[in-house]
Amino acid sequence: MAAKYVYFFGDGKADGKAEMKNLLGGKGANLAEMTSIGLPVPPGFTISTEVCTEFYKNERNYPAGLAKEVAANLTKVEKLMGKKFGDPKNPLLVSVRSGARASMPGMMDTILNLGLNDVTVHGIISQSKDERFAYDAYRRFVQMYSDVVMGMDKGILEHLLEQKKEAKGVHLDTELSAADWKELVGKFKEKIKKHLGQNFPEDPQEQLWGAIGAVFGSWMNQRAITYRKLNSIPADWGTAVNVQAMVFGNMGDDCATGVAFTRDPSTGKNYFYGEYLVNAQGEDVVAGIRTPQPINRANGNDSKLPSMEEVMPECYTQLAKIRGILENHYRDMQDIEFTIEKGKLFMLQTRNGKRTAKAAIKIAVDMVGEGLIDEKTAVQRVVPAQLDQLLHPSLDPKAKKKLIAKGLPASPGAACGQVVFTADEAEAAAKIGLKVILVRVETSPEDIHGMHAAQGILTARGGMTSHAAVVARGMGKCCVAGCGEIKVNYGAESFAAKGDVVVKKGDVITLDGSTGEVMLGEVPTVPPELTGDFGTLMEWVDKFRKLKVRTNADTPHDAKVAREFGAEGIGLCRTEHMFFEADRIAAVREMILAEDLDGRKRALAKILPMQKGDFIGIFREMKGLPVTIRLLDPPLHEFLPHEDKDIDALAKTMGVSVQALKNKVEFLHEFNPMLGHRGCRLGITFPEIYDLQVQAIMEAACELNKNEGFAIVPEIMIPLVAVVEELKRLRESAVRVCEEVMGRYGVKIDYLIGTMIELPRAALTADEIAKEAEFFSFGTNDLTQTTFGLSRDDAGKFLPFYVESNLLPEDPFVTLDQGGVGQLVRIGCEKGRATRKNLKVGICGEHGGDPESVIFCHKTGLDYVSCSPFRVPIARLAAAHAAIGETTDLTK
């Protein structure tokens, strides 16, 4: 059988269905599905994503047979509509839209009114009896087509339009007559010819194929490539093309067009939420040029503009019914587009709506309550990385605020930063570590990189479904949109706000994306709310996951926060971090710089009570949960004194001359401190340091056990082991100290001694190492560094370039490199367990909180991941997804 490239939909029947997203793109699959379930969808057809793939494989040539299939399907549309494409009397007009598997704002979106030319326009006039409408449609088509298909600078035609309005002394497009539009169509075409050296195509077939080519071509434009990269969308997915009969929302006051969400995409509240415009076409609603009207008064919407429910009650009732049908059918919140032509409602799109993390959780939990989905589906509906939005502080309601404007609460959260006015500036500022707020009149797909780099986005124009609002929500970025109270002046790099306030580039402002408030300066924040729907969802999460989630915490406070986030133990307590505070660092420096054993012992005696106090605090906080304490692993350079005043003070304390101390600092200087005298190498050369730490751990455990009845199983972890002999010796020492302390207190504590696997050699000889280790923890920060031969401290100079230029798919310090580093983890795990069957294995590098890496850890059979406190819920959810993924295909 010949390959099928084109899929028809219309009149209640469709070749495709919702499950065929990979082949038909999201838009095409859902148009087919809506048609099949009896919703009013204008007929049309979808050219599959396979054609896109073939197109690029064959040097931008279409597969044989495509033209024939397109022609046959066009005929079907003509029959259903009772019109003919290119017919002078009763012409069919079509829209051409892109539609990839995932929605992609970076691509060519839509061409409307295709099929119009100097002849067919008369057919439209006689059919619609409205010359003005016909020429308005024609000029829109010429503008859109010349821009996206022919590459004409759209500003040039817009300028002609402005000139015309000026000449006529009018302000609005609506004030131009049929004759004006007719004249402009002619002028537009002349300009196009002059600028591009080619005629605007009159032949509808040529127009159609030009548009199809432009959709496929846009798959590889820079914006689409950037968007794919930011959203991890593979290039070989390709896009589909949807060709559909036009219906018009701009044929008069009984026409309209709108967009809606079946629930509030910002809060998740269960009410019908949307915007529409009377007598408008397609993108007018999202373009932010006219202020859209609400579809209803739900949720206390007190807009002064009349709602659709009031103006077009019958269509509204039908739409509200469709809302219910769609939610019941898709069992998820839908984002829909509709058009009303002469009082008749048509559905142009439905898709699962993008939503904030807050809304995702509320919708998932509510839908379980409503019996629409089960708990497992609810867990799958929340994207782990998205949780980040909820785990960070929001603005302190009690804080003093200097309110300078209020816009629409388009995407919640709080954001604070310096004002910039262009996407490029935002990106440049973020690169040097500045926090910025991108302020625009409105945003467009060209601004995506800047929106990504900014903390938050503020726009002067556009509704809740404007580009800025939709994209920010998808990114989980705070956004205040449609803030008409600000007047942006790009030239002066400033904006004026209420009360004569002028905010200049570089000034700090704060946005509250949940209220729409814009404030001058930085406003304090409060911790996140972890109960309610969030708590319910996380309970379900814990039912499904198998991987345990611990935290990396060095203080009782961090331990407490992590427990509140659901940590089941501490997977890494970095003891050197306990010494960063000013009064403590002096003692550590004294220890590092001591000339001899006596000097070191004197310094260690100062450290012992501090360490013991910390351990007691942490053990208490963790209430008997496992706590892994890593013995000292200080990259020496982080601790050495460099400033004269510190050296002077230390020399005094140690009773040595300043010069002698300087000489010692000089002597300890390392060229590659990350590969230097750190980790267990320090324990090997100065055993008294590790002995003291083990003593502090065991004394803390014994005291709590004896005095407060705590059952603590400390896990003592030895870092940066390369050869088993290092571990063997250090283990012997540690055991000796443990036994001595327990004897002294007269208590028996179960304790474990294990190691970090941070060096390729350790992973490759894990069978040997496991003889001396009761647990392994993969230190994937160092393991990444040593596997790639990349310095953790210096990679920032070139690694971003590697990622930007696709040399590496991701920063390997953020997402575990499964092909290389991951292989070592797998080998280490297998070899270790071959020696010691019940070896406990975890991971404590930064990857422990990265969703993709967590899924890898689950698949590799690790017992737990350990990550920073704020990422614990993300890791829990990712672990649940990994476990569910074993039985359910997440993409379905």
Query: What are the catalytic residues?
Result: 467, 844
Give 651 or 825: the residue with its C-beta nearer to ligand PEP. Answer: 825
Tell the smallest beta-carbon distance from residue 726 to ligand PEP (Å). Answer: 16
Q: Which of 782, 852 has the CB closer to Mg ion?
A: 782
Q: Does 576 bind Mg ion (CB under 5 A)?
A: no
Q: Which residues pair with 81 in a beta bridge?
A: none
State whether residue 84 is helix, strand or coil. Answer: strand
Q: Which two tokens stand for residue 437?
A: 């707020």
| Residue 696 touches which member of ligand PEP, Mg ion, none, C-beta under 5-8 Å by kind | none
- For ligand PEP, which is the closer residue by CB, 200 or 778? 778
Give the Å distances, CA to CA, from 616 to 696, 705, 710, 712, 750: 9, 10, 11, 11, 16
Residue type, 31: L
CB nearer to ligand PEP: give 572 or 697.
572
Instruction: Tell me how far apart the alpha carbons of residues 406 and 480 are, in angstroms, rounded to a whole number.
Output: 8
Contact between 726 and Mg ion by CB under 5 A: the answer reads no
User: Least separation, in Å, of the C-beta of 600 and ligand PEP?
Assistant: 22
| 542/638 with CB nearer ligand PEP | 638
The span of 116-124, 187-195, 342-350, 776-784 binding Mg ion (CB under 5 A) equals 776-784
Residue 10 or 845 having the CB closest to ligand PEP: 845
Nearest distance from C-beta of residue 758 to Mg ion, angstroms: 5
Residue 572 sits in the site that holds ligand PEP (CB under 6 A): yes
Half-sphere exposure of 350 (CA within 13 A, CB side): 28
Whole-number minimum distance, CB 305 to ligand PEP, in Å? 56
Asked whether position 726 contacts ligand PEP by CB under 6 A, the answer is no
What is the closest distance, in whole angstroms, from the C-beta atom of residue 572 to ligand PEP in the complex? 6
The pattern of x and - marking residues 734 through 773 that bind Mg ion according to CB under 5 A reads ------------------------x---------------
Pick 287 or 684: Cβ nearer ligand PEP:
684
Contact between 779 and Mg ion by CB under 5 A: the answer reads yes
Q: How far is the CB of 758 from ligand PEP (least distance, A)?
A: 5
Which residues share a beta bridge with 437?
419, 456
**The entry of Mg ion, ligand PEP, none that residue 404 binds, CB within 5 to 8 Å by partner kind:** none
**Residue 380: enclosing H or E segment and its boundaries?**
helix 375-380
Number of chain residues interacting with ligand PEP (CB under 6 A): 10
Q: How far is the CB of 877 from ligand PEP (least distance, A)?
A: 22
Per-residue contact string for residues 601-640; x = within reach of ligand PEP by CB under 6 A: --------------------------------x-------
Q: Does 355 bind ligand PEP (CB under 6 A)?
A: no
The number of beta carbons lying within 10 Å of the beta carbon of residue 508 is: 17
The smaller minimum CB distance to ligand PEP, of residues 591 and 783, is found at: 783
Of the candidates 846, 858, 850, the residue with the CA atom closest to the CA atom of residue 882:
858
From 123, 482, 714, 845, residue interacting with ligand PEP (rule: CB under 6 A): 845
Identify which of residues 697 and 757 has a Cβ nearer to Mg ion in the complex.
757
Tell how far CA 136 is from the center of its chain: 40
Q: What is the DSSP string of 798-861?
A: THHHHHHTTSSSS-TTTS--TTTHHHHHHHHHHHHHHH-TT-EEEE-SGGGG-HHHHHHHHHHT
SS3 annotation, 515-546? CCEEEECCCCEECCCCCHHHHHHHHHHHHHCC
Min separation Cβ 780 and Mg ion, Å: 9
780 binds, among ligand PEP, Mg ion, none (CB under 5 to 8 A by kind): ligand PEP
Mask: binding to Mg ion, 241-260, rule CB under 5 A, as x and -? Answer: --------------------
- Cβ atoms of residues 443 and 467 within 8 Å: yes
Contacts of 34 (CB under 8 A, 6+ apart): 41, 326, 347, 350
Query: What whole-number distance in Å separates Cα of residue 205 and Cα of residue 211?
Result: 10
Shortest distance, CB of residue 561 to ligand PEP, whole angstroms? 19
- Judged by CB, which is closer to ligand PEP: 212, or 825? 825
Residue 29 CA to residue 18 CA, distance in Å, equals 5
Helices within 623-718 (DSSP H only): 644-654, 658-668, 680-685, 687-708
Distance of CA 639 to the CA centre of its chain: 36
Least distance from ligand PEP to the Cβ atom of residue 791, Å: 12
Rounded CA-CA distance 87/675 in Å is 76
Chosen from Mg ion, ligand PEP, none, partner binding at 307 (C-beta under 5 to 8 Å by type)? none
Asked if 845 and 781 count as a contact pair (C-beta separation under 8 A), the reply is yes
Q: How far is the CB of 862 from Mg ion (least distance, A)?
A: 17
Give me 219's structure tokens.
Answer: 């798959």
Closest CA to 416 of 504, 507, 510: 510
Residue type (1 letter), 568: E
Q: 745 exposed, middle or buried (CB, 10 Å; 0-12, 13-18, 19+)? A: middle
Under the criterion CB under 5 A, does residue 782 sit at the interface with Mg ion? Answer: yes
Task: Find which of ligand PEP, Mg ion, none residue 574 binds, CB within 5 to 8 Å per kind.
Answer: ligand PEP
- CA angle 786/633/557 to nearest 5° reads 115
- Pick the closest to residue 514 from 529, 536, 496 (CA basis): 529
* Nearby residues of 363 by Cβ (< 8 Å), 6 or more positions away: 263, 268, 270, 332, 333, 355, 381
Query: Residue from 21, 263, 477, 574 that binds ligand PEP (CB under 6 A)?
Result: 574
C-alpha span between 605 and 465 (Å, rounded)? 64
Angstrom distance (rounded) from CA 600 to CA 581 = 20
Helix runs in 104-232, H state only:
120-128, 131-148, 154-168, 178-196, 204-218, 222-230
Instruction: Verify binding: residue 871, ligand PEP, rule CB under 6 A.
Output: no
x/- map, 633-652, ligand PEP, by CB under 6 A: x-------------------
Distance in angstroms (rounded) separating the CA atoms of residues 257 and 261:
14
Question: Residues binding Mg ion: what is the number (CB under 5 A)?
Answer: 3
Binding segment for Mg ion (CB under 5 A), chosen from 491-499, 638-646, 774-782, 851-859, is 774-782
Least distance (Å) between residue 781 CB and Mg ion:
5
Decide: 395 and 510 in contact? Cβ < 8 Å: yes
> Which C-beta is closer to ligand PEP: that of 54 or that of 633?
633
End-to-end CA distance of the chain: 28
817 touching ligand PEP, by CB under 6 A: no
Residue 572, binding choice from Mg ion, ligand PEP, none, Cβ under 5 to 8 Å by partner class: ligand PEP
Q: Does 844 bind ligand PEP (CB under 6 A)?
A: yes
Which partner from the list Mg ion, ligand PEP, none does 147 bind, CB cut-off 5 to 8 Å by kind?
A: none
Q: Cβ closer to ligand PEP: 417 or 828?
A: 828
Give residues 505-544 in contact with ligand PEP (rule: CB under 6 A): none
State the alpha helices, DSSP H only, in 467-596. 467-475, 532-544, 556-564, 582-593
In this structure, are residues 131 and 228 in contact, taking their beta carbons and an 8 Å threshold?
no
Give the x-and-dash track for 757-786 against ligand PEP (CB under 6 A): -x--------------------xxxx----
Give the shortest CB-729-to-ligand PEP separation in angstroms.
Answer: 21
User: Which residues of this chain interact with ligand PEP, rule CB under 6 A?
Assistant: 572, 574, 633, 758, 779-782, 844-845
User: Which residues of this chain interact with Mg ion, rule CB under 5 A?
Assistant: 758, 779, 782
